[in-house]
Chain A
Amino acid sequence: MLKLEPRAQTSLVLAVAAPLLALALTVLIGVALFSALGKDPAQALRLFFVEPLKDGRALSELSIKAVPLGLIALGLAVCFRANIWNIGAEGQFVLGALGASWVAMQAGPATSGWFVVLVLLGGVAGGMLWAGVVALLRDRFNTNEILVSLMLVYVAGLLLNYLVYGPWKDPDGYNFPQTMLFAAATRLPRLVQGLRVNAGVVIALLAVVGFAVFQFRTYRGYALTVGGIAPAAARYAGFSSRSALWTALLLSGGMAGLAGAVEVAGPLGQLTPYVPVGYGFAAIIVAFVGRLHPVGIVFSAVLMSMFYIGGELAQSRLGLPKALTSVFQGLLLFTLLACDHGLQYRMRWVAAEKARAAA
């Protein structure tokens, strides 16, 4: 029989080692998977880990996906640290896209370039609104935030469809379910001529700094952390659990909404039913692989973005199913949890002792 015993102490080195070990295991299982599918594993791995970093254009595409993932994960990390389980960032992302789009549709050809700031704020407001529903229901009626936030994802999806198939449909769009193309003033400025990489990267890096400061340097961030890891100590200190609930949910909702706005004001430029692509769920993995730490999240967001792009490349070049991306995401989270457990506990084989005891 296997027995788990807690280790006396886990060092910082091991805490960093867990995600790296998990990544290595994911790659190993990936190799086995590709071989079983009859594809050359070396070539497949190259699509996932080399091609997305190959040149400027590849890096630009990498940033397009890493930015929303990172933005959402930053907010979620605050939530998870406070022991509040918002798993509906996907819905808050959609509402952010809706809010940003509504603002964007108010712009005309002569609007100033600063208008994009309003577009982004519209996104933040949309995400906060959706997360605020979760906070309100939990605060007033003690509903389970996991269920409510998850179910609101589907409501958000239906709302999006209603708008793009209905009132917001572009009259000149040949009846396609999409809004009009937004005015130039509502778009995020591109950083490099000819590449899609945009100012969202700058926003994301600023957010990383902001969240690091919030988490480690402010009393409010401290109160949230204490509330998450030692609720009795938070009550003793007098930190309000209601305020923690609202802060964490509004912050993470706002960040998911911001990500939605960056998506609309960045690569998309209009609203379609295909805005939600699972960033909100993938960001949960990003947050945990990044150890709920703002700097860690930068790396894990880039990694997850590589999985997305690698999956697309594997589909187009090797004819592998696109579900491979999700398989990799799932594998990574699974191996990470296993590695975490393995580092916190020591496994011991106790069958021998039992046998002797019986004798």
Chain B
Amino acid sequence: MHRLELIGISKQYPGVRANDGIHLKVAPGQIHAILGENGAGKSTLMKIIYGAVRQDAGQVAWNGREVQVFSPAQARGLGISMVYQHFSLFETLTAAENIWLGLDQSRSLAEVREQTREVSAAYGLHVDPARPVHTLSVGERQRVEIVRALLTKPQLLILDEPTSVLTPQAVESLFVTLRQLSAEGCSILYISHKLHEIRSLCDHCTVLRGGRVVGEVDPRQESNASLSRLMIGADAPVLTPRVGLAGAPVLQVAELNLPQQDPFGVTLEGVSLAVRAGEIVGVAGVSGNGQQELLAALSGEDTRAAPGSIQLFDKDIARASPAKRRSAGLHFVPEERLGRGAVPSLSLAMNTLLTRTEPVSRSGWIRSGQARQLAAKLIDSFRVKAPGPDAPARTLSGGNLQKFIVGREIDAAPKLLIIAQPTWGVDVGAAAQIRGELLRLRNEGCAVLVFSEELDELFELCDRMHVIAQGRLSPAVSIAQATREKIGQWMSGLWPKAAIAEPADAQA
């Protein structure tokens, strides 16, 4: 008997068929991977199992009996638990209070606190029930979510991209916990697009593409290349190799200190880095370690930096406005596309005006014809799938909007391009195109600074790498000397010469 069986699940959203006749069988104690690109329909499928979304067609069988799951509460009653990619925790409450809030209200807070301790000890998930969530690292927060899921004694645990915020060492310790759960008979649905993780953890893998099942394999028998081919439907594109050497320094940051702006922000301490012409420098790190704060200081959205601490071509820009920095050749692509990189309700033509002032006359008139031409040119040369320059930004898919925004900044012929999460939530084809553009830009002599949580991406792109942890920046390491293990260790703040670094995630 299967723990869970899906028979012909389909779900139609306006304009997209998210799931199309999906069959899936999960055995008791199985660690079952769901592999697929962004937009392949993984999340929709999991939400259907968890009762957060209703399918249009198809059946769900639970322990051999057909069930209809109408709500997450009902799913938890059946023994299905889910840990979402984006945590749902209240920052100001303690870990135990958060766990208590997520459970059905039959137990007292004291009981929950006690059970939290027991479960943490049994599975090596160190969680202090009394600590407020805002003092916890991202890895610790995830452990709170997992403990909350385990307190419902699940027979099926769904994990949605659980490692996207973890250091490699924290990933290893998570896997130990998951294997222990599996040995006790709990089935695990593990959603990911990271091939090596699936190969080391899972004993079965269902591959989704475009809402359909395109393969069922034993991942331990597969290679990264064969899995990737299944997932994308083609071989991954090859990137152009590097040419030329790095030139003169373009961006220099020296001993940048910046106190946090809100209670849950990060204080930057003694950040120093340099980017030279014709090189790509990467900044790795788990999100929430000061990336947003550092990016804001570099882009000019935050102008509190001490004079002299940020220099562009030997000129002080620490207090300059974003527009001034842009005219000096610094262009920036932010992580959030809708609402920051682009205004959702405005047309692509109007969105060019956010960072491009060519269509604006000296006296402040907008030449709308010129703005439309510019947008049309970007759509054309960066292969953006859009109806035209008048299409509102929000009607584009994530990948296409990202191509448009990256194109808008690259087309401005920047001397320094700062880009955050260049391929986050972007399909593989668009991701390869964006990475290719970045390499081309570097080969043409532009300085590029990339912030990313995807180590694979940084290893693929960068010439040198820094790691950011708890608001401090590691020294640079050349890509030849960087290894996943070393960078992973640094992501916990443990790099040479670091005086006192708290090993938040490494030892869990």
Contact = CB atoms under 8 A, between A and B. Distances in A.
Do A and B make up one complex?
yes
Interface of A: 8, 217-220, 222, 225-226, 229-230, 232-233, 235-238, 240, 353-354, 356-357
B485 interface: no
Residue among A220, A230, A354, A357 with the highest chain B CB neighbour number at 10 A: A230
A258 to B, nearest CB: 22
- What secondary structure prevails in chain B residues at the interface with A? loop
Nearest to A353: B70
Interface string B323-355: 110100000101010011111111000100111
Contacts of A238: 300, 321-324, 326
Contact of B301 (A222, A225, A236): A236
- What secondary structure prevails in chain A residues at the interface with B? helix
B73 to A, nearest CB: 10
Interface stretch (B225-233, B255-263, B358-366, B421-429): B358-366
B366 A219 contact: yes
Nearest to A231: B339
21 contacts: A8-B15, A217-B368, A218-B366, A219-B365, A220-B364, A222-B350, A222-B353, A222-B366, A226-B343, A226-B346, A230-B339, A232-B336, A236-B301, A236-B322, A236-B334, A236-B355, A237-B323, A237-B354, A238-B322, A240-B321, A356-B68
A217 B365 contact: yes
B340 A230 contact: yes
The number of chain B residues touching the other chain, given as a range, is 35 or more
Interface string B10-39: 000011000000000000000000000000
A229 B14 contact: no
B74 interface: yes
B364 A236 contact: no
Given A8-B14, A219-B353, A226-B354, A236 B366 contact: no
Contacts of A237: 322-323, 354-355
A229 B334 CA distance: 18
Contacts of A357: 68, 70-71, 74
A219 B360 contact: yes
A56 to B, nearest CB: 40
B354 A236 contact: yes
B299 interface: yes
A217 B343 contact: no
Contacts, number: 70
B227 to A, nearest CB: 35
A229 B365 CA distance: 21
Contact of B341 (A222, A236, A353, A354): A236
B75 to A, nearest CB: 11
B198 to A, nearest CB: 34
A222 B350 CA distance: 9
Residue among A219, A229, A232, A237 with the highest chain B CB neighbour number at 10 A: A237
Contacts of B323: 237-238
Nearest to A238: B322
Contacts of B332: 236
Contacts of B350: 222
A243 to B, nearest CB: 11
A217 B321 CA distance: 24
Interface string B294-327: 0000011100000000000000000001111010
Contacts of A236: 299, 301, 322, 332, 334, 340-341, 354-355
A240 B344 CA distance: 20
Residue among A217, A233, A357 with the highest chain B CB neighbour number at 10 A: A233
A86 B321 CA distance: 28
Contacts of B353: 219, 222
A244 to B, nearest CB: 14
Contacts of A356: 68, 70
Nearest to B13: A8
B326 to A, nearest CB: 7
B250 to A, nearest CB: 20
Contacts of B366: 217-219, 222
Given A236-B332, A236-B334, A230 B364 contact: no
A212 to B, nearest CB: 13
Contacts of A218: 364-366
Nearest to B361: A219
Contacts of A220: 364
Given A225-B346, A237-B354, 14 more contacts: A8-B14, A219-B360, A222-B353, A226-B343, A229-B343, A229-B345, A230-B339, A230-B340, A232-B339, A236-B299, A237-B322, A354-B70, A356-B68, A357-B68
A220 to B, nearest CB: 6
A233 B301 contact: no
Nearest to B334: A236
A235 B296 CA distance: 10
A42 B322 CA distance: 61
A335 B299 CA distance: 44
Residue among B70, B71, B368 with the highest chain A CB neighbour number at 10 A: B70
A222 B368 CA distance: 12
Contacts of B345: 229
Interface in B414-469: none
A23 to B, nearest CB: 25
B15 to A, nearest CB: 8
Given A219-B364, A219-B365, A222-B350, A232 B340 contact: yes
B341 A233 contact: yes
Contacts of B71: 357
A344 to B, nearest CB: 12
A4 B442 CA distance: 49
A6 B340 CA distance: 22
B47 to A, nearest CB: 15
B321 A233 contact: no
A235 B301 CA distance: 6
Contacts of A240: 321
Contacts of B355: 236-237
A26 to B, nearest CB: 28
A356 B321 CA distance: 58
